[in-house]
Amino acid sequence: MHADILDEAAAREQQMIEVALANRPVPKMVYTGECHWCEEPIAFGHYCDKDCRHDHEVFLWAESQRRIA
């Protein structure tokens, strides 16, 4: 048992964080030598610049919000 209710709440919160982190999906992006958005050749990373990264994230978010009727 915990000394007080605040210690117990903090312990439970930490436990929920650990469970959420353990169950999150593994990122599926791998280095291909091309920007994942515009397909420009790149030496490292997944995007050629921050604008491509942002545009791809916005696209992925929009795709996740679409509902199938």
Contacts of 11 (CB under 8 A, 6+ apart): 2
Q: What is the pLDDT at residue 1?
A: 59
Domain boundaries, the chain: 5-65
Q: Using an 8 Å Cβ cutoff, are 29 and 36 in contact? A: yes
DSSP labels, 7-53:
HHHHHHHHHHHHHHHHHSPPP-----SB-TTT--B-SSSS-SSHHHH
Q: What is the pLDDT at residue 69?
A: 56
pTM of the model: 0.54
What does the pLDDT look like over 5-51, one tens digit per residue? 999 999 999 999 999 999 998 878 888 899 999 999 999 999 999 99
